[in-house]
Every structure is written in C-alpha cells, then in structure tokens.
Amino acid sequence: MSPITTHSLMFQRPKGTGTYAPSDILHAVLAVLDLEGLDDAGCNKLAENQLHPAEKSRLASFRHDRRRKSFICGRLAAKAALKAYFPGIDPQSIEIGSGVFDQPIIAGGGDDVQGMSVSLSHSDRFAVALVFHRAHPLGIDVDLPTMKDVPAILDGIAPDVRKMFRSIDLDDHGVACLLWVARESLAKTITTGMMTPLELYAPSSIERKGLGFEVRYANFGQYRTIIWPGVQGWLGLTLPDQTEFDPASLSWA
C-alpha cells in the first residue's frame, strides 16, 4: 500500500470577481505522505527515484538524519502532487527549490508547470504538499503541538480572542492546535513565515463548520483558513476569502 495519497481540490469564485487565464487556476492537488512505517532506507530509495539532481546535491549537504528525512518527505509529497496534477510528468525533471524567504518554489518541468506554486508542511506523522496556480494563492499546514507547547502558543492571546475560543468549546490543547496551523498556513500564503509579530495573525472570527473550523483575520481580511482537526494531526488550508470550497470534499480523520 502506498504511503502517499492525493486529493484533487476544486474551488469556485463568485461571478463578477474577475476573469482568469488560464481557466484552470481554481484547481489544486493535495498530497499526504504518511510517515508511519517509512524508515530511512525506504525514504532514501524513494528519493533516488524521485529527486532532481539539484535536490540530491542539496540533500548531500545535510548532516542530520532528521533534517534529511524532512527534506526528502517534503519533496516526495510535492512530486506526488505534481504528478497527480500533470499526469505523465517526470518528477526528476522538476526541482523544488527555495526562494529568498526559504519558501518552496517549482523550477523545471516544462511549459505546463510554469505558473505553478507549492506549499509544504510536515509534522512527526505527515508530510503534505499543495500544488496550485500562483494566480490563486493558497497555503497549507499540518501539525500536532504537544501539551508542552500549549503555554507558549497561547501566551499573549488577547481577551477577545480567548472569548472566541470559549464559544466553540475547545480545550487548551485544541485551541493551540487550531491557532498554530491557522498562523502557519496564513504565513505561508503571504510568504512571511513566522518572522512577523504573532499578534498580526489575530483572528477576527472563529466558527465551527461541519467537522472543522473556519478562521478569519483582523489584519488579513482577504484570506480565511479552513481547519480540520485530527487525532494524528490538524490540517489548515488558507485560501482567498471569497473563494468557495466545501470542507466536506476533503476527508481528513
């Protein structure tokens, strides 16, 4: 059984919000790599068959096994998402490089891949990659903060934000998970990383949506984040606020 699953995501925009060229910018692919049972030998074997020569060269510069594995798994997830988006593409022809803010960028792969972007994230259990057109910015994050992480994540939260969390009946660990993946996925979407003061990512509203949550922001009204809770990890997807997407169309346990 393959450790990688892919999900085709289809978005919609309200009429009158613009014209798009190419017309398929409202399509994205999410790849999820389950790291359970994937040992270093299996990881290295997959890397040999999937990574671009420049990625292999960069991999050779890493000294620590944990850093090597996170690099490989992120790239494997990205290649799986690209192959699902562009069937028949050679994953070794594409490099997932880094921009000036260390954000992942796609290079190579031919004309079809030009204009595409990728968002990466990993936790102890999962590596995920989201491939999408840069004309429709998105960001992804997966994580499962430990109980030891909770005080630091919740430190300094404003009273009005704490009131929002009380209204959705989450314990402190759930609040920390939600807040963390929301911040991270938004930061990746706007290419700031976590280099910006955390209070700028403050939510303006938090609502339950089906089995998950929806977060909007006081300082970034053009975006919202959909969050799926999970026993092994919480998943956050940031997207343009006017973009329509049904959370139930993505299965996340």
Q: Which residues pair with 98 in a beta bridge?
A: 104
Provide the residue type at 76 as one letter: L
Q: Which residues pair with 119 in a beta bridge?
A: 130
Residue ranges of the chain that CATH labels 3.90.470.20:
4-136
Q: Which residues pair with 101 in a beta bridge?
A: none
pLDDT per residue as tens digits for the range 142-173: 999 999 999 999 998 889 988 898 888 899 99
CATH code 2.40.50.100 for 4-136? no
Identify the H or E element spanning 57. Answer: helix 53-60
Mention every residue, 6+ apart, whose C-beta is less than 8 A from residue 232.
125, 126, 144
Mention every residue, 6+ apart, whose C-beta is less than 8 A from residue 171.
none
pLDDT per residue as tens digits for the range 88-127: 899 999 999 999 888 999 998 888 788 899 999 999 999 9
**Percent share of the chain, pLDDT over 90:** 66
pLDDT bracket for residue 186 (50, 70, 90):
very high
pTM of the predicted protein model: 0.94
Question: Tokens 């594409």 identify what position?
Answer: 94
Q: Which residues pair with 237 in a beta bridge?
A: 140, 226
Mutual angle of helices 40-50 and 65-85, in 10-degree steps: 50
Cis peptide before 203 (omega within 30 of 0): no
By the 8 A CB rule, do 141 and 235 touch?
yes
pLDDT per residue as tens digits for the range 8-52: 999 999 877 776 656 678 999 999 999 997 888 888 888 888 999
